[in-house]
Structure 1
Amino acid sequence: MMSHVILMALVPVFFVLLLGYAAGKFHIVDSLHVDALNALVMDFAVPAALFAATASASRREMIEQVPLFMVLGVTMLLLYAAWYFAARSFSRVSRPEASLQALTIGFPNLAGVGLPLLTSVVGPAGTVPVAVALATGSILISPLTLIMAEMGAAEGRGDEMTARQVLTAVGRAITKPVVLAPALGILFSLSDLSLDALAHASLALIGSSAAGVALFLTGAILSAQSFRLDWRIAGATVASNIVRPLLAVAVVHVIPIAPDTAKIAILIGAVPSGFFGILFAVNYRLDSATAGSMVIASTGVSIATMAIAIALLFPN
């Protein structure tokens, strides 16, 4: 029975991911298609799904997610800071590249893997925790990374980073649809307003494509990344696939949280590295190969680590 649950949770995820990878490798999907798919996923489908899920939750349900926000926020920030300072101290990479690596490790692939995984394991109720997790990472560590990238760009031009540029970087992070939608949905829920049935049905129609297309997009993005294995990639894989969920385990023992919510937080911590670091690296013309290798290795190893996490957290 347990093996059936794990197979039902993981096989569809990796099947669609491999479809996207094969489509990219055989040039069925090229860079223009990837850009279009990225816009569909990150600007429309995922934001619609997350807004519908969070806005439909009651105020009580949303308040119950506050401990999840705190646990994931502390987990992501601790791992982000640890990798950033380690990369700066031992690899001697620039601040922007260290922050991109830290973002890749600290912020799991929630849109591509977390959403379909949680909905498979815990049902439709898993969408709200994914939305909260996305909002957590997008509000806390994405702006830090964009600030570092903007600082690197300013140094490359021989300029000093101004307060206006810092605010611009933060603004870019928090106004992206994939960040803004769950945040607005959370505010909508906390205001104790109810989402109209027609509005929910309209958002759900485009949002229903989010999980599958996001997985396909992840595979297509990974197919374009060159893979290299060195101590940094190995260390990043251990950090994202083993240290992150174990860190979440430690944090849930410090922050008061319901047992069921704690299990979800730990499972979210077991989701492999996300591809935001790759996208940011491409946008700022930084090293995307390292971030890409981290995501490829983390995603491959997660077949085993997520199966173990599911078996331990949801044995029944």
Structure 2
Amino acid sequence: MTSTIISALLPIVITLLFGLFAGWHHDFDRKQAAILNRMVMLYALPLVLFAGMVGTPRSEIIAQVPLALAILLGMLVPYAIAFVVAHYLFRRDLMTASLEAITIGGPAVPFVGIPVLGQLFGEAASAVPIAIAGLVMNLIQVPATLMLLSAGVAARNA
């Protein structure tokens, strides 16, 4: 069990340490780091998810509908609860409450899920849940947060 966890998390930890070392050593300036982040976010990550989904048989994707619903609820319920608690209980403004909600309810599954779940369950088995989580985050949570941020700015300027 311990070796499985270590083998799944070790590549992430080593990558983070390389990034920390590169930043400390000033190997990349801010512009180069922004370009590298942009390349990963716009090309590498979507291509890995796309390749995983294309390699998954349609019957397996359809069989994952209960899992998709569980992921949907597992991401939206904490988002909604965090927003309601932050806005109504702690009296945060819309902008702060929406940022707290996405921080709590928006897991890093599309980013961390690939190395961790891929190592634990295999690339084929983990492609569908990771893609579903990415879709929920990018099609529901991020637009909802952006709308709440815009509404908060409009309310503050009114």
Is the CA contact (8 Å cut-off) linking 2:22 and 2:28 kept in structure 1? yes
Map of 2:116 onto structure 1:
117
Identical aligned residues as a percent: 36
Following superposition of structure 1 onto structure 2, how do residues 115-264 of structure 1 map, counting pairs within 5 Å? Answer: 115-125=114-124, 126-158=126-158
**CA RMSD for the aligned pairs?**
1.9
Provide the rounded CA distance (Å) in 1 between the counterparts of 2:49 and 2:138: 13
Q: CA deviation at 1:6?
A: 1.6
Is the CA contact (8 Å cut-off) linking 1:88 and 1:95 kept in structure 2? yes
Map of 1:31 onto structure 2:
30
In structure 2, list runs of 5 or more residues that go unmatched: none
For residues 100-151 of structure 1, the C-alpha deviation after alignment (integer angstroms, 9 at most, x for no partner) is 1111111111233111001111111122321121112222212110111122
For residues 181-224 of structure 1, the C-alpha deviation after alignment (integer angstroms, 9 at most, x for no partner) is xxxxxxxxxxxxxxxxxxxxxxxxxxxxxxxxxxxxxxxxxxxx
User: Which has more helix, going by share of residues?
Assistant: 2
Provide the rounded CA distance (Å) in 2 between the counterparts of 1:33 and 1:68: 39
Map of 1:242 onto structure 2:
none
Map of 1:234 onto structure 2:
none
TM-score (norm 2): 0.88
Provide the rounded CA distance (Å) in 1 between the counterparts of 2:152 and 2:39: 29
- After superposing on structure 2, the runs of 4+ consecutive aligned residues of structure 1 that deviate more than 4 Å are none
Count of equivalent residues: 157
One-letter amino acid of the counterpart of residue 154, structure 2: A
Q: CA deviation at 1:21?
A: 2.9
Is the CA contact (8 Å cut-off) linking 1:53 and 1:127 kept in structure 2? yes
* More displaced stretch, 100-109 vs 14-23: 14-23
CA 1:101 to 1:28, structure 2 compared with 1: closer, same or farther past 3 Å? farther
CA 1:119 to 1:144, structure 2 compared with 1: closer, same or farther past 3 Å? same
One-letter amino acid of the counterpart of residue 134, structure 2: L
Map of 2:15 onto structure 1:
16
- SS of the equivalent of 2:135 reads helix
For residues 239-284 of structure 1, the C-alpha deviation after alignment (integer angstroms, 9 at most, x for no partner) is xxxxxxxxxxxxxxxxxxxxxxxxxxxxxxxxxxxxxxxxxxxxxx
- SS of the equivalent of 1:108 reads coil
Provide the rounded CA distance (Å) in 2 between the counterparts of 1:101 and 1:25: 30
- SS of the equivalent of 1:141 reads helix
